[in-house]
Amino acid sequence: MKSKTLIIIALGLILLVSGCTQEQNNGTADDTTPNQDIEDDSMEQDDTTQTEPDDSQNSNPGTDNDSDSGKMSSPYACTDILLLSAMQSVFGSDAEVLRKPAPFGRTISYVSCNVQASGTAAVQIEFHETTTMEAALESLEDEALQIESQLFDSEKTEGSIGAQSYVVYSTRSNETRVLFVDNDGATPVFVIVKSIPGTEVTQSTVTRVAEKIEELI
């Protein structure tokens, strides 16, 4: 009888000890859980860092364009900021450049601009785009002959602007016409700058305007 009792007591102690050991193991597993969470957070943080946008890649360097290079480009426009700046350097900061409707029969390659100073028209600028340098030079010669015949008491002299140029001046009406073809054969353009009748714009001013435009095209 005593032997049976001792066996039962021994079995009870074994079960008790086994239960305590299992609780300790469970407690150890729970203790490691926060450490695992920390490791996961650090990995997520690394992923976030890697996917952040690179400012150096997103930054767009200035694209080269005609305004940045200081040159006008085809199709020429009266609203070009470079043209306005050039005219203001000649006529003052209040100068304006306005588009004038093309005469009937002119193609879209023809652009005419009126330059106003203090609200009064000073000069007119015409851009005639052509396909070849030969066509531009031919147009220059034809226009020079027409202007010379239209202006009374006028004389035509060769200028020094661009590839070829002429200056036509009328002593009777005090009008000046400067005609030139730009040196750039890749985009040939024939330009006419003329003073407005009845104004006090001098020949030297018209020539200066033509020189400014030649620098821009």
Residues 84 and 42 in one domain: no
Tens of pLDDT, residues 70-99: 889 888 999 999 999 999 999 999 999 999
Q: 109 — phi, psi (to 5°)?
A: -80, 0
**Is 136 inside any structural domain?**
yes
Same domain membership, residue 106 and residue 142: yes
Task: Mark whether 14 and 90 lie in a shared domain.
Answer: no
Does residue 59 lie within any of the structural domains? Answer: no
- Is 61's pLDDT higher than 90? no
Place of tokens 């290079």: 69
Show the tokens assigned to 111.
Answer: 């652009």
Q: What is the pLDDT of residues 93-129, one digit of tens each?
A: 999 999 976 555 555 578 999 999 988 999 999 999 9
Quote the pLDDT of residue 110: 82
| Residue with more model confidence, 13 or 128 | 128
Q: Are residues 21 and 113 in the same domain?
A: no
Does pLDDT of 59 surpass 50? no
Check whether residue 123 and residue 43 sit in a common domain.
Answer: no
Same domain assignment for residues 18 and 85: no
**Is the same domain home to 39 and 93?**
no
Residue range(s) defining the domain that contains residue 46:
2-52
Q: How confident is the model at residue 185 (pLDDT cuts 50, 70, 90)?
A: confident
Torsion over CA: 201, 205, 210, 212 (sign): negative
pTM metric for this prediction:
0.66
187 and 90 in a common domain: yes
Residue-level pLDDT at 109: 73
pLDDT value, residue 186: 81
The pLDDT of residue 13: 58
Give how many domains the chain has, as a whole number: 2
* Residues 36, 93 within the same domain: no
Residue 83 and residue 25 share a domain? no
**How far is it, in rounded angstroms, from Cα 150 to Cα 145?**
9
Q: Would you state the pLDDT for residue 21?
A: 46
- pLDDT tens per residue across span 163-175: 999 999 999 889 9
* Close Cβ partners of 116 (under 8 Å, ≥ 6 residues apart): 95, 96, 97, 98, 122
Report CA-CA distances (Å) from 125 to 3, 145, 148.
Answer: 128, 18, 18
Q: Are residues 31 and 102 in the same domain?
A: no
Residue 184 lies in a domain: yes
- 199 part of a folded domain: yes
Does any domain span residue 48? yes
Report yes or no on 57 lying in a domain.
no
User: Is 179 part of any domain?
Assistant: yes
Averaged confidence pLDDT in the chain: 76
What's the CATH number where 149 sits?
3.40.1000
The pLDDT of residue 55 = 36
User: Greater confidence, 180 or 150?
Assistant: 180
Percent of the chain residues past pLDDT 90, beyond the cut: 48
**3-state DSSP of the chain:** CHHHHHHHHHHHHHHHHHHHHHHHHHHHHHHHHHHHHHHHHHHHHHHHHHHCCCHHHHCCCCCCCHHHHCCCCCCCCCCCHHHHHHHHHHHCCCCEEEEECCCCCCCCCEEEEEEEECCEEEEEEEEEECCCHHHHHHHHHHHHHHHHHHCCCEEEEECCCCCEEEEEEECCCCEEEEEEECCCCCCCEEEEEEECCCCCCCHHHHHHHHHHHHHHC
Q: What is the pLDDT of residue 73?
A: 87
Domain annotation covers residue 24: yes
- Average pLDDT (182-200) is 89
Based on the fold, state whether residues 100 and 44 are members of the same structural domain: no
